[in-house]
Amino acid sequence: MLEQLVMTSAGRELRVVEAGDPGGAPVVVQHGTPGSSSLFRAWVEDAEYRGIRLIGYDRPGYGGSTRDPGRSVADAAADVASIADALEIARLGVWGGSGGGPHALACAALLPARVGAVATLAAVAPYPAEGLDWLAGMGDDNVTEFGRALEGPRALEPHLEQLAEGLRSADPQAIADELRSLLTPVDAAVVTGEVARYIHSAMHEGLARGVHGWLDDDIAFTKPWGFELEQISVPALVWQGLHDRFVPPGHGEWLASHVPGAEARLSPDDGHLTLGARRVPEVHAWLVEHLS
């Protein structure tokens, strides 16, 4: 895996990693909340198989990337454009899981000449979203977290510090205990072995310098995103598991009906974490098809 620092047009540093096929179709991954640029081994192996140049990066405030206080979801598009410029990429695909989903949609909406296709897995819907009870169906931990986010950064930051301490102190085998209010049975079944180690590692890397990336994500989700979904004109895939307490099914259903022309996959067999653990090869196949 290759790693480098990319300077944005605003003078911030972004930690960027690459894996897969160096000469393949570029695909940028927007990581979850909290998370990091770390790429799961199964995603990398699939990228090699399908001829994908897989690119991850730490969003501002996570891991090795400079914080951008007050950033909006829309600001991810300029950062991805900076990465594409630095890597000399003219056209790419993008997918995002969970908290990465809105940032992937921002890239599709605001970089239509550069982003050829977009996919989301268990993405958060805008707040507020007409016709959606935004917190309904979330596990207790997320209801509390986003309740604090709606109160503002001063209420949210000490809460995230407490959560981060628990995540940092847990070993991979205990990570499920830290997430227990959010895990449906199908998700609990996959938080073992390599998946548990990956989740643990990605969170540790992302939170190594503090919780500001996490905080800025949460605040960005609960204020205007800075773009309209109606601006998306490229092929879009919206994938949602129906057994999800992190981001409940209503979010995916809402996005599927509001992203223009979106192909919806509302899976009765999946939760939240199962999408990243099992479905990324299918997402890669879909992106390659729509980028060709």
Q: How many whole angstroms separate alpha carbon 48 and alpha carbon 269?
A: 27
Q: So what's the pLDDT on residue 136?
A: 97
Q: In the sheet where 92-97 sits, what is the strand order?
A: 2-7, 13-20, 52-57, 25-30, 92-97, 115-121, 236-241, 263-267
Q: Cα separations (Å) of 61 from 57, 58, 92?
A: 11, 8, 24
Tens of pLDDT, residues 62-96: 999 999 999 999 999 999 999 999 999 999 999 99
What CATH number has the domain bearing residue 41? 3.40.50.1820
| pLDDT interval class at 101 (50, 70, 90) | very high
Gap between the terminal Cα atoms of the chain: 25
Tens of pLDDT, residues 222-280: 999 999 999 999 999 999 999 999 999 999 999 999 999 999 999 999 999 999 999 99
Tens of pLDDT, residues 9-63: 899 999 999 999 999 999 999 999 999 999 999 999 999 999 999 999 999 999 9
Q: So what's the pLDDT on residue 234?
A: 98
| pLDDT interval class at 155 (50, 70, 90) | very high
Q: How many whole angstroms separate alpha carbon 8 and alpha carbon 282?
A: 31
Residue 90, classified by CB atoms within 10 Å of its CB into exposed (0-12), middle (13-18) or buried (19+), is exposed
Task: Tell me whether strands 13-20 and 25-30 are parallel, antiparallel or unpaired.
Answer: unpaired
Q: So what's the pLDDT on residue 80?
A: 98
Looking at the structure of the chain, the number of domains it has is: 1
Residue range 152-170: average pLDDT? 96
Residue range 170-192: average pLDDT? 95
- Residue for token pair 């503090």: 210
Tens of pLDDT, residues 133-144: 999 999 999 999
Based on its alpha-carbon atoms, the radius of gyration of the chain, rounded to whole angstroms, reads: 17
Which positions ≥6 away from 194 have C-beta within 8 Å? 41, 42
Quick check: 173 pLDDT over 90?
A: no
284 closest CA partner among 59, 49, 10, 114: 49
Question: Range of 31's domain?
Answer: 2-291
* Maximum CA extent, the chain: 47
Quick check: 292 pLDDT over 90?
A: no
DSSP one-letter string for 128-171: S-TT--TTTT--HHHHHHHHHHHH-HHHHHHHHHHHHHHHHHS-
Q: So what's the pLDDT on residue 126?
A: 98
| Residue 23 near residue 198 (C-beta atoms within 8 A) | no
Would the pTM count as exceeding 0.85?
yes
